[in-house]
């Protein structure tokens, strides 16, 4: 079963009190999204700090969103659209089981969209803490994996 997260807007503004449901992408779509994002970041020579595996979810969220913001719009736009496709609105706080897809007028503040993206990131990126050591060459799986130098390698 896919994970979900509920988010209620607490910032002052036109969206105050609105509730949203964020549903995790399926495994295939999530893998595709992550691969495209990672390839785009690598093509953009994004810096990944040595302590990547120890940053925690808040650190990973900040790092990931900051890195994504450095991408060209043509690359970033489809990734952002897929993020928001995972968000639904709960139009009536008393009927939390009733959710529907977003329409343009559901979100009136840019800050709300940014907050929803951060919540999406935290929901989806939990797997990074488990695989980061092997990706970065620090975990048990990394010992057996072939290593390849890249343009951004520090060897």
pLDDT in tens, 50-103: 666 566 555 656 667 777 777 889 988 999 999 999 999 999 989 989 999 999
Angstrom distance (rounded) from CA 51 to CA 67: 16
115 contacts 11 by C-beta, under 8 angstroms: yes
Q: What pLDDT, on a 0 to 100 scale, did the predictor assign at position 2? A: 92
**Could you count the other beta carbons within 10 Å of the beta carbon of residue 95?**
9
Angstrom distance (rounded) from CA 155 to CA 60: 24
Provide φ and ψ at 105, rounded to 5°. -80, -5
pLDDT in tens, 6-59: 999 999 999 999 999 999 999 899 888 888 887 887 788 777 666 665 665 556
Q: Which of 40, 108, 49 is nearest to 69 (CA)?
A: 40
């Amino acid at each position: 079963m896919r994970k979900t997260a509920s988010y209620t807007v607490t910032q002052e503004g036109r969206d105050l009190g609105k509730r949203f449901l964020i549903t995790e992408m399926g495994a295939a779509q999530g893998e595709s999204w992550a691969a495209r994002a990672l390839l785009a970041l690598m093509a953009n020579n994004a810096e990944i700090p040595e302590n990547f595996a120890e940053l925690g979810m808040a650190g990973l969220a900040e790092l990931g969103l900051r890195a994504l913001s450095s991408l060209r719009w043509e690359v970033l736009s489809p990734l952002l659209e897929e993020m928001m496709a995972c968000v639904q609105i709960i139009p009536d706080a008393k009927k939390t089981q009733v959710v529907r897809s977003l329409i343009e007028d559901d979100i009136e503040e840019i800050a709300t969209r940014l907050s929803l993206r951060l919540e999406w990131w935290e929901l989806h990126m939990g797997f990074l803490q488990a695989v980061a050591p092997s990706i970065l060459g620090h975990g048990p799986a990394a010992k057996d994996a072939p290593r390849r130098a890249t343009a951004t390698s520090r060897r």
